[in-house]
Structure 1
Amino acid sequence: MINVGAGTGSYEPPQTVLAVEPSSVMIAQRPAGSVPALQASAESIPLADDSADATMALLTVHHWTDLEAGIGELLRIARRRVVIFTWDQTILRRFWLVDEYLPEVAAFDDTRAVAIDRLIALLGGARTETAPIPHDCSDGFAAAFWRRPEAYLDPEVREGISMLAQTGEEALRPGLARLSDELSSGLWHQRHADLLNRETLDIGYRLVIADL
């Protein structure tokens, strides 16, 4: 398994043999004992055809400058399978944080989200699987804190979520102030009482899997 657009290595399974990541900063933050990391972009991976049984790309395709080239590289170096973890923007738009407090974030993500159908077409066919997010998810991606709303008030948490960090604190400030007030008053908990006992939630995250 080759992890393309690997970042700091979140969710690398034991079968991973190599990470591909363009940022030297991200590579430097990979934990000790991680698999070797090759500094390269997804659009141009200096590896031979059929280099591994599978390639994966986790929450990264929306960052690529040339999606077609990147998907072509995933297909070129994989012998058996390509797995992409991404999100369905039409579903994520209904997430309470975006829908009720930060519509500016939805507008920003509309400009970069990759449609599932487009990925399937570029892969030459694929199946999709829903990826429900557990309430105590240890990673800090956008909707990971769906049952822990106070986390979104933490600047360090927001800094690690690209859709918030790139929207900018000034644009987020009014919505976050309203979220803070409604958490203090208990209004958020009243409105979202149905979430408080749920273990997982479908917020639009999807696995797109192409068997070659």
Structure 2
Amino acid sequence: MKIESDASSAGGGHDGHDGHPAKYDRIGVGYREIRRPDPRLASLIAGGLGDARTVVNVGAGAGSYEPQDREVTAVDPSRVMLDQHPGTRKVKAGAEQLPFPDGAFDAAMAVMTVHHWPDAARGLAELRRVSRRQAVFTWDPEHSTELWLFEEYLPEAGARDRSAFTPLSVVTGALDAHTVLPFPVPHDFTDGFRAAFWRRPESYLDPVVRAASSTLASLPASVVEPAIARLRADLRSGAWQRRHADLLERESVDYGYRLVLAGS
């Protein structure tokens, strides 16, 4: 069965700051090549969905972390992102006004997208309205451990993220969440979002990698390029390796990513 419709043009998205679909119409091209779902996070999210058979993925993007053994309906405001989505049930719509009746799904999922929504509280209320269970993966902007890239090279990006991401307390409160699970990022994490390359600093030198992260893609070249030049010089001199010798010995780091569970 194929469902393809256009219900709205606001909200949704994946791993960025700006709810406007034009943003992902611009930077979403080639997104799936860098943003490859990691099986460890996929397992955490699948477990969070419980026994749900029907799932709506709000801010679905290219379909990352959708369980293959469930009936999933993907919702996203960006046509570019939906065109990369491999599923057959796709709806172009925003999180704040989901075009489904009350209780239409067993579960709703949202992965690194709530901070895109112009009205996060309304979008989260919509998740609760259309499903009995909710699983939301997000980043806590109040978490104390910051990625070295933003602390040392791009403080503008760190400040932007902390002001743009929805506080974890807002997400848990709006959902009336009963569980919050941490997800420390493994050193070989395959999904190239914000902190994925914490132990692979040379990856941030690649403009293709940076373009797949809206945290970096949304900043002007006049800010990003000098910072990347400093990183390149530090890698060549060994200064980065000396400063971060402890990271090179670690398997994972808790950078504040959380899976929030609500409902039943």
Quote the residue 2:59 is aligned against.
5
The count of corresponding residues between Structure 1 and Structure 2 is: 209
Q: CA deviation at 1:125?
A: 3.5
Q: Is 1:135 matched up with 2:187? A: yes
Change (3 A) 1:154 1:131: same
Aligned partner of residue 46 in structure 1, secondary structure: coil
Paired residue for 1:144? 196
Question: Structure 2 unaligned runs (5+)?
Answer: 1-54
Amino acid at match of 1:39: K
1:51 is matched by which residue type in structure 2?
Answer: A
Q: Which residue of 1 aligns with 2:28?
A: none
Question: 1:50 is paired with a residue of what secondary structure?
Answer: coil
The amino acid of 1:26's aligned partner reads M
| 8 Å CA contact retained: 1:6, 1:21 | yes
Aligned partners of 1:59 and 1:86 also within 8 Å: yes
Q: Is 2:242 the partner of 1:190?
A: yes
TM superposition score normalised by structure 1: 0.93
The 8 Å contact of residues 66 and 72 in structure 2, kept in 1 or not, is answered as: no
Contact kept, 8 Å, 2:180 with 2:261, in 1: the verdict is yes
Q: Is 1:10–1:139's contact at 8 Å kept on the other side of the alignment? A: no
With over 3 angstroms needed to count, the CA separation of the structure-2 counterparts of 1:92 and 1:156, relative to structure 1, is farther
Moved runs in structure 1, 4+ residues, more than 6 A? none
> Could you tell me how far apart the structure 2 residues matched to 1:174 and 1:26 are?
30
| Displacement after TM superposition at 1:16 (Å) | 4.7
- The structural deviation recorded for 1:199 is 2.0
User: Could you tell me which of 64, 76, 89 is aligned with 1:36?
Assistant: 89
Once the two structures are TM-superposed, the CA of residue 35 in structure 1 deviates from its matched residue by 4.5
Per-residue CA distance 1:141-180 (angstroms, 9 max, x = gap): 1111111111111111111101111122211122211111
Aligned position for 2:14: none
Code of the residue aligned with 2:183 in structure 1: it is A
Whole-angstrom CA distance in 1 between matches of 2:94 and 2:125: 13
Contact 2:181–2:258 (CA under 8 A) maintained in structure 1 = yes
8 Å CA contact retained: 2:115, 2:165: yes
Aligned-partner Cα distance in 2 for 1:11–1:17: 11
Q: How much has 1:17 moved relative to structure 2?
A: 1.6
Judge conservation of contact 1:132–1:203 (CA < 8 Å) in 2. Answer: yes
Mark the CA change 1:44 to 1:86 in structure 2 (over 3 Å): closer, same or farther: same
For 2:99, the equivalent position in structure 1 comes to 46
CA contact (8 A) 2:137 2:260 kept: yes
Deviation at 1:189, TM superposition (A): 1.1
Offset from partner CA, 1:116-158 (integer Å, 9 cap, x none): 0111111124321101111111111111111111111111111
Report percent identity of matched pairs.
48
Indicate conservation of the 8 Å contact 1:3/1:16, yes or no: no
Q: Which residue of 2 aligns with 1:103?
A: 155
1:146 and 1:192 map into 2 onto residues whose CA distance is 10
Q: CA separation of 1:207/1:102 partners in 2, compared to 1, >3 Å: closer, same or farther?
A: same
1:172 corresponds, among 203, 217, 224, to 224
- Residue 96 of structure 2 contacts residue 122 of structure 2 at CA under 8 Å; is this kept in 1? yes
Partner of 2:255: 203
Does 2:115 align with 1:76?
no
Residue identity in the other structure for 2:189: C
Correspondence for 1:21: 76
d(CA) in 1 for partners of 2:235, 2:88: 41
Question: 1:131–1:202: 8 Å Cα contact kept in structure 2?
Answer: yes
Shift of 1:37: 1.2
Structure 1: where are the runs of 5+ without partners? Answer: none
Instruction: Specify the SS of the correspondent of 1:57.
Output: strand
Contact 1:44 1:73 in 2 (8 A): yes
CA distance in structure 2 between the aligned counterparts of 1:70 and 1:52, rounded to whole angstroms: 16
